[in-house]
Amino acid sequence: MYPEDRVLVAYVPEPVDFHRIQQYGWYRIPLRFAPKGLYAEYIAFYFGSRFAGDKWAIHYYARNLGHELTTRRSLIPAEPDHKRADELYYKVQLGLLTRLSEPILSLRWRRVTFIHTTWDRFQDASEINDLFVEGDPYVDRLYATLKERGVQAERNYRVKEPKVSYVLPLAVPCRKGLVEIAQDLVPHDAAKLEAFADEIIDLAIENGGVRQNP
């Protein structure tokens, strides 16, 4: 294991899907939704809402041993009449399934399809937002500064309005509304970044945001 090894976090919607991972040692990805990180050294698994007490968290990972293209019918012969039986899937072969000593949690519910990260971030992460590597380094620094000061920002936050949908690199959900942080607002200067973090914290407090740390 090397710090720069790639980790692909993949969504597992149903316990039966994870049972197949445990029993057969493979994970399936529809060809039409296949991510660019299919060659990651490791695959980690994010559990959906049907996993009871384990939901919305990463509990397991495994080494990626390679993949092949096949049909859903070949993967799951017990369901030959499934509406997607003839669709193509990547069958990702897995190594030993390993349970994390502490799960990586989603502090605020979010639907994760795929997240690309690195082994060093994966090892150090305590929650989902710690995993993101795609983005401006100053956004990373601002996220870390806010977290250190007790304000939990969300990475890659999707905003859906009646006639428009967009993604913010950072946002702070509060009881009275959302503190939006657009890419062009993030300063590229260390001193200004600290001052900007202070402004975001004040806005979060005004909007009913709760500090995580005293």
For residue range 69-79, what is the model confidence (pLDDT) as tens digits? 999 999 999 99
65 assigned to some structural domain: yes
Confidence of residue 101 (pLDDT cuts 50, 70, 90): very high
1 assigned to some structural domain: no
For 160-183, what is the mean pLDDT? 88
Task: Enter the pTM of the model.
Answer: 0.75
Domain end point (choices 98, 131, 164):
131
DSSP, residue by residue, 95-141 = ---EEEEEEEE-SS----SEEEEEHHHHHH-SBGGGG--SS-HHHHH
207 exposure class (CB count in 10 Å sphere: 0-12, 13-18, 19+): middle
Q: Which among 62-76, 131-145, 159-173 has the top mean pLDDT?
A: 62-76
Q: What is the mean pLDDT of the chain?
A: 89
Q: Which domain holds residue 153?
A: 137-206
| Least trusted range by pLDDT, from 97-106, 131-140, 161-170, 189-198 | 131-140
Percentage of the chain with pLDDT > 90?
Answer: 55
Domain end point (choices 104, 131, 158):
131
For 34-54, what is the mean pLDDT? 92
145 assigned to some structural domain: yes
